């Protein structure tokens, strides 16, 4: 369970700890605090009334709740178990988990977490060690899960598996190869190539509503996640080995200059573009190149002819920088306060088993976490990009593995969004973010002033 995935230096450095107060404060910074009793409840499965024990309560995002509902209903019928799903918007889910897990309310039996959230909950042991709950499964079964995704469920390394990945999202660079060929442009390998292509594409296609690059400019998570591949592709990163912020470095400044140049060649209103719209723009051919593209968006392209024209690969990198992809997996964990941990583990293992992983691909166009499903003939025939997505997942790096990441992302994403919207210069935005992140880490005792 502790296999080295070849992560970045930031994933190997000594990781600072996080207090319960800081975790609660960080979640509040993401958005308005959500009280535990206000988390919306769905109706339990029809079988819930027929069983004596309480239903298993599962916390999911709104979109994931809709995708998993048919599988959860099937599980409930097969096992005679009631399932109650509590869906929340993305930000609301993080806030709700923070309140309930840190206070040990026992409100949830299973929680779904995006991989950057896991360190905060795993380090504080707000999630149970799955191997202590029951037999998770070893040998060939574990080896079937993509190692880079499986490793995300353990933090710090060697402390025990706290969650299993159920959705294998990974960030890649995507472009419409046919469109580049029409204009005599070569597939890009560096960010200079991307920018040059974007200029040519936008100049030729703006009148027809075609643009050279697409990105998400919304404040917070979208803007931060869109900036990271550009930053890393210029040889930079958020932190050095001692957790000192690195957003005022020459590499970061060059990355911001590139990002703002690309934002000017994106569809109008880029500062408001979210995940769904970004995916639609790529799928519809409104944008020809995009760096902040995720596996679920690619598998969700409805037109097979359009999907066939999309090529994916590692993020571009300037000379001397390492091309990479980035993880964005979702994992299932069992809160320390669950009153039914063994039953919860049975459901977690069932949902992450090959049969259910294949269903999620074929029925919901969601990326799997198992190598066998990525390679499944039926799935690959339906989604030809699966083999390339497997390669991307195997080499994907996580975001900086620190319990403080949600707060850091909020600060960074706010500053990047201000620059994209033109309210701050790129240099000013990065200096503000660098200072604010540094001040936060000083307050938390991570670094010295």
Least confident interval from 62-66, 144-148, 275-279, 425-429: 275-279
The token pair that represents 121 in the structure block: 């909950």
Superfamily of domain 9-169+328-397: Periplasmic binding protein-like II (3.40.190.10)
Q: What is the pLDDT of residues 262-292, one digit of tens each?
A: 999 999 999 999 898 999 999 999 999 999 9
pLDDT at 82 (0 to 100) = 97
- pLDDT averaged over every residue in the chain: 89
Which architecture does CATH list for 170-326+404-443? 3-Layer(aba) Sandwich (3.40)
The tens digit of pLDDT for each residue in 371-426 reads 999 999 999 999 999 999 999 999 999 999 999 999 999 999 999 999 999 999 99
Residue 42 has what pLDDT? 39
Distance in angstroms (rounded) separating the CA atoms of residues 116 and 26: 13
Q: How far apart are the C-alpha atoms of 395 and 157, rounded to whole Å?
A: 18
Going by pLDDT thresholds of 50, 70 and 90, the confidence category of residue 34 is very low
Q: What is the pLDDT of residue 307?
A: 85
Nearest to 331 by CA among 171, 143, 161: 161
pLDDT at 15 over 80: no
CA-based nearest residue to 137, from 118, 161, 166? 161
Average pLDDT estimate for 136-165 = 87
Cα separation, 271 vs 218, in Å, equals 5
Q: What is the mean pLDDT of residues 218-242?
A: 96
pLDDT score for 49? 41
Q: DSSP letter at 37?
A: G
Residue 331: φ, ψ to 5° = -125, 155
Tokens, residue 13: 């450095």
CA torsion 293→296→300→301, rounded to 10°?
20
3-state class (DSSP) for residue 161: strand
Strands across the sheet containing 83-88: 83-88, 56-61, 110-114, 330-333, 163-167
pLDDT tens string 89-125: 998 999 999 999 999 999 999 999 999 999 999 998 9
Confidence of residue 365 (pLDDT cuts 50, 70, 90): very high
**What average pLDDT does the segment 122-133 reach?**
93
Query: What pTM was estimated for this model as a whole?
Result: 0.87
Query: Residues 6 or more apart from 420 whose CB is under 8 A from it?
Result: 215, 217, 223, 259, 260, 263, 270, 271
- 411: number of Cβ within 10 Å: 23
SS3 assignment, position 138: coil
pLDDT at 47 over 70: no
9-169+328-397 matches 170-326+404-443 in fold: yes
List the chain domain ranges: 9-169+328-397, 170-326+404-443
> For the chain, what is the radius of gyration of the CA atoms?
21
Quote the tokens at residue 198.
């974007």
pLDDT at residue 28 greater than cutoff 90 = no
Lowest-pLDDT choice from 35-39, 194-198, 352-356: 35-39
The 10 Å CB-count burial string (b at 16+, else e) for 278-301 is bbbbbbebbbbbbbbbbbbbbbbb
Q: End-to-end distance of the chain based on CA atoms, in angstroms?
A: 37
How much is the average pLDDT of 351-358?
97
Cβ partners under 8 Å of residue 186, min gap 6: 180, 193
């Amino acid at each position: 369970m502790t296999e080295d995935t070849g992560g970045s230096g930031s994933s190997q450095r000594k990781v600072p700890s996080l207090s319960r107060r800081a975790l609660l404060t960080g979640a509040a910074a993401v958005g308005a605090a959500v009280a535990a009793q206000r988390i919306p409840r769905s109706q339990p499965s029809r079988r819930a009334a027929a069983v004596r024990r309480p239903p298993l309560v599962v916390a999911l995002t709104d979109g994931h709740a809709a995708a998993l509902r048919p599988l959860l209903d099937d599980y409930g019928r097969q096992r005679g178990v009631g399932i109650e799903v509590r869906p929340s918007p993305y930000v609301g889910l993080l806030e709700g988990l923070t309140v309930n897990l840190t206070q040990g309310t026992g409100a949830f039996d299973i929680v779904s977490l995006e991989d950057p959230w896991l360190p905060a909950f795993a380090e504080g042991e707000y999630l149970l060690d799955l191997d202590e709950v029951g037999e998770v499964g070893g040998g060939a079964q574990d080896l079937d899960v993509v190692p880079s995704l499986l490793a995300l469920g353990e933090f710090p390394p060697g402390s025990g598996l706290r969650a299993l990945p159920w959705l294998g999202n990974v960030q890649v660079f995507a472009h419409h190869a046919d469109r580049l060929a029409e204009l005599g442009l070569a597939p890009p390998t560096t960010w200079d190539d991307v920018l040059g292509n974007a200029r040519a594409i936008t100049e030729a296609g703006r009148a027809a509503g075609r643009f050279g690059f697409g990105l998400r400019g919304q404040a917070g998570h979208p803007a931060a996640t869109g900036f990271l591949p550009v930053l890393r592709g210029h040889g930079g990163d958020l932190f050095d080995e001692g957790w000192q912020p690195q957003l005022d470095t020459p590499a970061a400044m060059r990355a911001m200059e590139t990002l703002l140049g690309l934002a000017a060649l994106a569809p109008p209103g880029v500062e408001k573009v979210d995940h769904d719209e970004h995916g639609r723009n790529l799928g519809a051919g409104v944008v020809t190149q995009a760096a902040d593209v995720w596996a679920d968006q690619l598998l969700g392209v409805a037109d097979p002819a359009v999907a066939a024209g999309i090529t994916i690969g590692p993020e571009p990198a300037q000379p001397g920088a390492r091309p990479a992809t980035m993880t964005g997996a979702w994992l299932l964990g069992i809160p320390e306060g669950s009153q039914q941990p063994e039953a919860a583990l049975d459901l977690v293992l069932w949902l992450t088993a090959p049969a259910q992983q294949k269903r999620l691909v074929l029925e919901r166009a969601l990326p799997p976490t198992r190598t066998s499903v990525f390679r499944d003939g039926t799935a690959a025939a339906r989604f030809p990009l699966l083999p390339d997505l497997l390669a991307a997942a195997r080499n994907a790096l996580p975001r900086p593995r620190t319990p403080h990441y949600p707060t850091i992302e909020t600060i960074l994403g706010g500053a990047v969004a201000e620059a994209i919207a033109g309210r701050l210069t790129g240099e000013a935005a990065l200096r503000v973010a660098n200072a604010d992140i540094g001040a936060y880490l000083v307050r938390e005792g991570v670094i010295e002033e």
